[in-house]
Amino acid sequence: MEIKAFIDSLKKQGEILLAETWKTSLILFKIVIPVSIATKLLTDWGVIDYAGLALGHVMQLAGLPGSMGVVWGTAMILNLYTAIIVFSTMVVTEHLTVAQVTILATMMLVAHSLPIELGIARKAGIRLWFMLVFRVLGAFISGILLNNIYHTTGFLQTGFIAVWRPESIDPSWGVWAIAQLKSLLSIYIIILVLLITVRLLNWLHITDMLGRALRPVLKMMGISKDAVPVTIIGMTMGIGYGGGLIIREAHSGRLSEREIFFSLSFMGLMHSMIEDTLLMIFLGGHVSGVLLFRFIFAMLVIFIMVRLMRRFSDERFYRYFFRSQRGTL
Residue 37 pLDDT grade (very low, low, confident, very high; cuts 50, 70, 90): confident
**148-175: pLDDT as tens digits:** 999 999 999 998 876 555 455 556 778 7
Q: Residue 12 pLDDT more than 50? A: yes
Least confident span in 41-45, 54-58, 274-278: 41-45
Q: Residue 217 pLDDT more than 80? A: no
The pLDDT, as a whole number, for residue 163 is 58
Nearest C-alpha neighbor of 80 from the set 130, 29, 117:
117
- For residues 271-286, give the mean pLDDT: 82
**311-328: pLDDT as tens digits:** 888 888 988 898 875 545
- 17 vs 51, which has greater pLDDT? 17
- 1 vs 111, which has greater pLDDT? 111
Q: Can you give the residue ranges of every domain in the chain?
A: 2-162+174-320
Residue 154: which residues within 8 A CB-CB, separation 6 or more?
none
Q: Residue 72 pLDDT more than 50? A: yes
The pLDDT, as a whole number, for residue 32 is 67
Q: Residue 178 pLDDT more than 50? A: yes
Q: Using the CB atoms, write b or e for 166-201: b if 16+ within 10 Å.
A: eeeeeeeeeebeeeeeeebeebbebbbebbeebeeb
Mean model confidence pLDDT for the chain: 80
Residue 210 pLDDT grade (very low, low, confident, very high; cuts 50, 70, 90): low
Burial of 11 (0-12, 13-18, 19+ CB in 10 A): exposed
In degrees, rounded to 5, the angle at the alpha carbon of residue 305 between the alpha carbons of residues 267 and 73 is: 50
The pLDDT, as a whole number, for residue 280 is 86
- For residues 132-155, give the mean pLDDT: 95
Nearest C-alpha neighbor of 70 from the set 45, 53, 92, 46:
53
- 50 vs 60, which has greater pLDDT? 60
**225-240: pLDDT as tens digits:** 777 777 777 777 677 6
Contact 161, 129 (CB under 8 A): no
Residue 155's CB: how many other CB atoms inside 10 A? 15
Q: Residue 190 pLDDT more than 80? A: no
The pLDDT, as a whole number, for residue 241 is 64
**86-125: pLDDT as tens digits:** 787 676 556 899 999 999 999 999 999 898 889 888 888 8
> pLDDT above 70 covers what percent of the chain?
79
CA–CA gap between residue 264 and residue 243 (Å, rounded): 7
Q: Residue 45 pLDDT more than 60? A: yes
The pLDDT, as a whole number, for residue 169 is 55
